[in-house]
Every structure is written in C-alpha cells, then in structure tokens.
C-alpha cells in the first residue's frame, strides 16, 4: 500500500459529527492509485487566517515616504473624540466647537483696567442722565393731572418753577369754609333777594374762586329754586378772577329773583 501524500494528511483532519463529538475517519479505496493530477498538486496548503501578521517588537515598519519607523517606539493610544478634535486653527484661535463649549465671553472674568473703569462710569452717567430726562418729560407732560394730587403737586410746582411752565390752580371745594351767609329781601324791589356770604380757603395751596350753589327752600324743607353761581356772577364787574390764597377770606354778593313768597330757608354749597 503506497504511503499517503502530505496533502492527504492535511485534509484528513478529524471531523466530528453534529451532536456526537466523535471523530469520523475518511474511508478510502485501498486499491485506488493517485492520479497524475493529484501528484502534480502542490504538496503544501496554507489554512487559517490569511491576513499578514504584524512584526514583532524591534522590527521596522515600512512607510510610503520611505522612512522607517521602529515598532518598539510606537505606543498604542486610545483616542477619545475630544482628543481627535483639533485644538488650534490656522490663525491660532480655538475652534468653533471649543468656543461654544466655553460659553459667552461676558461670563468670563476679564482684567479691569483704569480705562475700562472710566469708560463704564461714563456710560452709566449717560444712562442715568437719559433716564432722569425721560422722567422729567413725563412729569411735565402730565402736570395737569399730577397737580391735582397732593403728593405730586409740590414736585410739579418746583419743576415748573425751574422750567417756566404753568401749573393748574389747585381745586379742593371741600376746603372752603363758610364764615357768614345771609339772604334777605331788597327794600323797594318786590320779589328780589340779596344773597351774600363770606368764606375762607383752608387748603394748603391757593384755589380759584369756587362755584357756589344757592338753594331756596320753604318751611317744610322742600326746594323751591336753586342756582349755580359762577365767579363772574357774584364778583363785582371788572374784578380780575385771580386765586384765593391758603387761609385767605373772600366775600360774594348777588341779587336773585324770589321764586315764591313762601321762601323761608336757604343753603350755600361749594362746587
């Protein structure tokens, strides 16, 4: 029996059946002779992984540029994404991703110089001046309404004294107090009554002459007639309509037609 060739020995590796784990021999015909093609086949077959193995430590690795680098000088490095990101750009500034990660510039503390300090003070001075100017314009533009409020009137009066603007006269009808009043018939003029009164301004500021409501009543308290007297109605003709200063007294007098002979009572109210 001729000896088996090297290729036959390599291919005759033990085979295991599925589920048995026992090797199975390959049956061959003892009388069969190897053919010419079998004898001419290569006697060595390489099995396994065909990828080239890396050189051992101390060997040289050839590079495309011709320069050799020894493998024992190269250390493996596990690069993370942050390590692979470039640190500097061509102009020396950090990349966009690094600048975004660092946050806005105003969050970082910068070195303050005297120039920066003077510039900041100048900017705050301008902002403060503009804010005060805006407040002054609002107060002066709305002075007619603010002048009717006791808390704002001193401020409005002071500002208008500086900027030469007019201030509406203070109006507080309840601050007038009646000192004396009288209604009587005029002798020689039947059906005509003479009404006169003296009053005083108790407010803290000067007031314009008030509107006086004169009401005539009968013995039962029923209203027989009423009239709202304007300053031009009870002041002497040609007298200027000024203002009544705080604590100042004033007088009024007017003639009215008697609505009925049963008038026995009257009242004065300030409007």
Q: Kindly tell me if the per-residue pLDDT of 119 is higher than 90.
A: no
Per-residue pLDDT, averaged over 242-258, amounts to 92
Handedness of CA 65, 68, 73, 78 (dihedral sign): positive
Tens digits of per-residue pLDDT, 57-97?
A: 444 445 555 555 454 554 555 545 444 545 445 455 556 66
In the structure encoding, which two tokens stand for residue 110, read together?
Answer: 């910068």
Identify the residue whose tokens are 């050799």.
68
Tens digits of per-residue pLDDT, 178-199?
A: 999 999 999 888 889 999 999 9
C-alpha 106/C-alpha 121 separation (Å) is: 18
Tens digits of per-residue pLDDT, 199-232?
A: 999 999 999 999 999 999 998 989 999 999 999 8
Domains along the sequence of the chain with CATH: 6-40 (no CATH), 116-163 (no CATH), 173-270 (2.60.40.10)
Tens digits of per-residue pLDDT, 19-52?
A: 444 444 444 444 445 444 444 444 444 444 444 4
Classify residue 171 as left (phi > 0), alpha (psi -120 to 50) or beta: beta
What is the predicted pLDDT for the residue at 262?
86
In the structure encoding, which two tokens stand for residue 79, read together?
Answer: 């690069």
Q: Kindly tell me if the per-residue pLDDT of 162 is higher than 50.
A: yes
In sequence order, the 6+-apart residues with CB closer than 8 A to the CB of 94 are: 87, 88, 102
Question: In terms of Cα–Cα distance, which of 179, 168, 151, 166 is closest to 248?
Answer: 179
C-alpha 239/C-alpha 131 separation (Å) is: 46
Decide if 214 contacts 229 (C-beta within 8 A). yes
Identify the residue whose tokens are 């020995």.
9
Decide if 168 contacts 231 (C-beta within 8 A). no
Higher confidence at residue 3 or residue 140? 140
What is the predicted pLDDT for the residue at 174?
93
């Amino acid at each position: 029996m001729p000896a088996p060739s090297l290729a036959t020995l390599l291919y005759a590796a033990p085979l295991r059946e599925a589920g048995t784990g026992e090797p199975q021999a390959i049956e061959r015909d003892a009388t069969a002779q190897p053919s010419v093609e079998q004898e001419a086949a290569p006697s060595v077959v390489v099995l396994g992984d065909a990828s080239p193995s890396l050189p051992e430590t101390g060997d040289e690795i050839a590079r495309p540029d011709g320069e050799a680098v020894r493998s024992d000088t190269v250390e493996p490095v596990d690069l993370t994404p942050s390590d692979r990101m470039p640190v500097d750009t061509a102009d020396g500034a950090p990349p966009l991703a690094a600048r975004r990660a660092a946050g806005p510039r105003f969050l970082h503390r910068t070195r303050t110089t005297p120039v920066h300090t003077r510039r900041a003070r100048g900017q705050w001075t301008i902002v403060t001046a503009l804010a005060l100017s805006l407040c002054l314009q609002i107060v002066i533009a709305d002075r007619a309404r603010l002048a009717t409020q006791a808390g704002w009137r001193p401020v409005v009066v002071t500002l208008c004294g500086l900027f030469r603007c007019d201030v509406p006269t203070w109006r507080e009808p309840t601050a007038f107090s009646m000192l004396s009043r009288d209604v009587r018939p005029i002798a020689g003029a039947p059906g005509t009554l003479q009404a006169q009164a003296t009053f005083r301004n108790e407010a803290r500021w000067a007031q314009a002459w008030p509107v006086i409501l004169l009401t005539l009543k009968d013995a039962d308290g029923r209203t027989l007639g009423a009239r709202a007297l304007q300053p031009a109605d009870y002041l002497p003709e040609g007298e200027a309509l000024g203002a009544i200063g705080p604590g100042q007294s004033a007088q009024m007098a007017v003639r009215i037609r008697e609505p009925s002979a049963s008038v026995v009572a009257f009242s004065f109210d300030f409007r």
